[in-house]
Copies of this chain bind each other. A is one copy, B any other.
């Protein structure tokens, strides 16, 4: 979602130009990120062409990452990602005060509604799913731990943006790409800003069909002592199970009270 024209924060000195910056770390991460949903197994030359590195550099990084256990090499000499990469997610989840506090509330919300509930956090211009409890009714296999969606068109993203000062929202919008993900996606920045003002009054965000067609999502922000959003709780319902009269106010109240309970339990 980053827009290369608009540099992050002030154009101070480039942290990548610093003598402290270790380029090999960037290259190793690039190799790991070359694998994605459509590319499960990659050969050395696949990785070279996807990362733009020459073969000998590629070989050094695949050797290193295999030795450290983050890549597996099969008999056909193709590489694939190793489950050892999940150690990072474990470390992140286990060390997160927010995740630990939110988990039982999310579970309760899911039992009560029998719908999918999520905990998301902001990362750059996106929301990232950190905890997801799927209901017995729906299972959107497209959303998993680590899924990243743009903040501007998702209920959790809008709920979080509503807790930020306007200049910060502007900065995030400048670096976002307003794409028409479904025929219903609202891409007009003026309208999105109005929506954010409404969320500030109503304390919840509600969107329908904005990123996934048929997806209805209601979210509220978990805030720190200064009222700044540090995460969001949402309930996601498929249109086939949605009854506006019955669900609209009920789900709004549920996410608001859940987010507020989690916010209230902060230790610092």
Contact = CB atoms under 8 A, between A and B. Distances in A.
Interface of A: 15-16, 18, 20-22, 24-26, 28-29, 32-33, 35-40, 59-61, 63-70, 80-97, 100, 103-104, 107, 110-111, 114, 121, 123-124, 128-130, 133-134, 136, 139, 141, 144-148
7 contacts: A24-B24, A25-B61, A36-B91, A83-B92, A86-B128, A86-B129, A93-B145
A124 B28 contact: no
A264 to B, nearest CB: 19
A96 B24 CA distance: 27
Nearest to A65: B25
Contacts of A96: 40, 81
A38 B28 CA distance: 27
B81 A91 contact: yes
B81 A92 contact: yes
A134 B133 contact: yes
Contacts of A68: 25-26, 29
Contacts of A97: 40
A166 to B, nearest CB: 22
A139 B104 contact: yes
Contacts of A70: 29
Given A36-B95, A90-B145, A95-B80, A64 B100 contact: no
Contacts of A25: 24-25, 28, 61, 64-65, 68
A32 B139 contact: no
A257 to B, nearest CB: 19
Contacts of A93: 144-146
Given A24-B25, A64-B20, A32 B146 contact: no
A140 to B, nearest CB: 10
Contacts of A88: 32, 81, 85-86, 88-89, 146
Contact of A92 (B20, B59, B85): B85
A231 B24 CA distance: 33
Contacts of A82: 92, 123
B81 A86 contact: no
Contact of A95 (B26, B40, B130, B148): B40
